[in-house]
């Protein structure tokens, strides 16, 4: 690693430790020529994910857009911010595991709905109403009935 102070091309690692929950490594280095120390971070190079929107346009995946959508759906609900951040991280990890360079926005929306359905019914319905673009009360009622039907299956007593 090139020294940022004198430009000498060689340095030695003095200390190395994981950071960012094991997602990166922090290294303390010392220049072999001038003796000054500096810090470097090593992390996996991620392939940028391109999201294909409904209108066919393309844009880079933006973690904050997903988070803002979930925050808006969970507004005035007893959902801690830590839980929202965990969901966003899980979604991001799930998307990267698909190993796709491009992905339809519908896949991301379905991931969000899947997590919100488990987290909070009201947040799920709020997100679904925007995501699925309900145009009338009937489509909204159908989504509620689907949610209630799933809840009945979960609560069905065992014989």
54-113 per-position pLDDT tens digit: 899 999 999 999 999 999 999 999 999 999 999 999 998 888 888 888 999 989 999 999
pLDDT of residue 150: 65
Residue 133 has pLDDT above 50, yes or no: yes
Residue 151 has pLDDT above 70, yes or no: no
Q: What is the pLDDT confidence band of residue 19, given thresholds at 50, 70 and 90?
A: confident
pLDDT of residue 41: 92
pLDDT of residue 159: 46
For residues 15-23, average pLDDT: 86
d(CA 159, CA 149): 19
Count Cβ atoms within 10 A of the Cβ of residue 123 and give its class: 0-12 exposed, 13-18 middle, 19 or more buried: buried
Q: Is this structure's pTM higher than 0.75?
A: no
DSSP secondary structure of the chain: ---TTT--S-EEEEEEEEEGGGTEEEEEEEETTT--EEEEEEEPPPPPPEEE-TTS-EEE--HHHHHHHHHHHTTTSS--HHHHHHHHHHHHHHHHHTT-SEEEHHHHHHHHHHHHHHH-HHHHHHHHHHHTT--SHHHHHHHHHHHHHHHHHHHPPP-
Q: What is the pLDDT confidence band of residue 124, given thresholds at 50, 70 and 90?
A: confident
């Amino acid at each position: 690693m090139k020294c940022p102070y004198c430009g000498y091309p060689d340095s030695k690692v003095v200390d190395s430790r994981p950071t960012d929950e094991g997602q990166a490594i922090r290294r303390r280095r010392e220049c072999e020529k001038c003796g000054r120390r500096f810090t470097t971070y090593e992390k996996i190079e991620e392939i940028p994910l391109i999201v294909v929107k409904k209108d066919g346009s393309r844009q880079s995946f933006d973690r904050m857009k997903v988070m803002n959508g979930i925050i808006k759906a969970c507004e005035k609900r007893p959902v801690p911010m830590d839980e929202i951040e965990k969901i966003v991280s899980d979604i991001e990890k799930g998307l990267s595991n698909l190993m796709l360079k491009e992905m339809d926005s519908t896949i991301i929306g379905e991931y969000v709905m899947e997590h919100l359905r488990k987290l909070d019914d009201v947040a799920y319905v709020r997100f679904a109403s925007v995501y699925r673009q309900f145009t009338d009360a009937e489509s909204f009622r159908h989504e509620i009935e689907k949610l209630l039907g799933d809840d009945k299956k979960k609560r069905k007593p065992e014989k």
